[in-house]
Structure 1
Amino acid sequence: MNISNETKTNLTSNGAVTGNPFSSVGVSRVLLVLITVSVFWILVKLGFWQLARAEYKEQWQATLAMRQQQAPLDYQQLLTLMNPNAPTDAAPETALLTGYRLSIQATPLKQPLLLLDNQVYQGKVGYLAYQLFEVTVDTPWILVELGFVPAGNDRRELPALTPILAGQYQLTGRIYQKQANPLSDELHPEIHTGKPIRFQNINIPALTLLLKHDIATAVLQPDNVPQHSLPQPWVPIPLSAQKHQGYSLQWFTMAAVFLGLMGWIMYKQYRRQQKRH
């Protein structure tokens, strides 16, 4: 008695499977399911990661606001906080001193101005200008931000900027530190006699070696810069919590669309297989 292949793969009269239960499932379908589950899981995980970053940024913003309400530090307090052995928060951003206020009496040094390259402010490309100040002869110098200076059409020409004149000044404002960028952290200074030093990254250790003097790792952005009225960008958090929430919505939407698309493809394959039988 001949038994068809179809009969072998179907239920017997007693309800038991007489053939290989996976014989009707193609390898391509298994791969399709695995790919669907894997990609969907990655997209959802990215969405939850963005939500976690949004929650953290909200906490970081609250920390910055709290620091702004505190009394300004003096220079010795700042140096103590910059001590590498001082206790810090576990999170990388809050371990920085960004957002604290500082009040010092300092004297501008006869050192070249410093121009941080590739800065953008209100759609314009230019530089952030800095000048070195001395608080006391036996303490590290400190970088004081003068503000944003637009770049000219000719990159070979640096903007004409007058340093703050000699004297002692009371400087009060916010301080900030930059996290090290593992992909681009080199100073890359361009030194020309009688001109500002153009550099690519705020790398205080490299700048210390270049100028042969200790420099504080925190930069001061004064509320009022003597003899200057340049704009002073303040972006302590490059991506806000709202941005991360928007990105999480995009990832979740992509996951839903992808799952719906793959479900439709599987359904079409199933319908085609049913028609063959």
Structure 2
Amino acid sequence: MHMLRANYHTHTKFCDGDNTPEEMVKQALDLGFEHLGFSGHMDPDIHMDWDAYTKEIKRLQKKYADKLDILMGVELDNMYNDPASCSGAEYIIGSTHFMDVKTPTPMSVDSTTEHIETLCNEFYGGDYLRMCRAYYELEAKIYDKTHCTFIGHFDLITRFNDQMHFVDETSKQYLDPAKEAMEYLVGEGVPFEINCGAYNRNRKKYLYPRPELLKVLQDFGGEIFINTDAHQKEKLNAGFDYAIQSALEAGFTHLNILAHNPVTDEVETKQLALDTL
């Protein structure tokens, strides 16, 4: 069994998670983790009290300093979030949950099938390929907008495709805009996460990015993190084995981790060889 001892995509009761940060910390310790990064949402529909969040994470950092390297991150959305609003964040996940359209209430591409159908019909003439192209054009801007540490769930636009079958994810028409966005982001030097969230929730039989895109990412020379996108403590390491296997099959040899420098306390990026996990 593989043993990756770090996760940086972690949600708690401060946003849309089921557990408190301390419950997540205790679970991480039980799993033998060395690093745990919290990454609450700051979206219009799921918005944290930033001051309360930072106060609690800093309390836990101090309390568990000799047992676990705890990092205070944030997940920022392409359309709605400004890094300046999250002073003190030690890392940023850049994600695209919303399209560049105006709706009476926020409609994320991963909330409900009704929302994505409404978005497509009202703003893209019912053409799902057109909507996917617009999504990836927006996704290409994520680093410029958020200065993120890594890209979250790159192809989230397909969240409901296994139910709705609105696009062939293996087709050239779908993959080409995704590859173009991916190549641009790799060129900017930003890593991507392999996100286990959908796999862990039995919503899809693969990860984000899907296998074809993961291989393209490796071909482009991209770097990876592996994260579970945990919203429950029981999912904190769920899917790691599958993600590591998928990364190896795609040709990756290393993954990235974040860690505090013990001398400066600054967060640094390090690499781990996949075949040692």
**Higher RCO (CA < 8 A, seq sep 6+):** 1
**Is the TM value for this pair above 0.5?**
no
Q: Shorter-chain TM-score: which interval?
A: under 0.3
The TM-score with structure 2 as length reference comes to 0.22
Max radius of gyration: which structure? 1
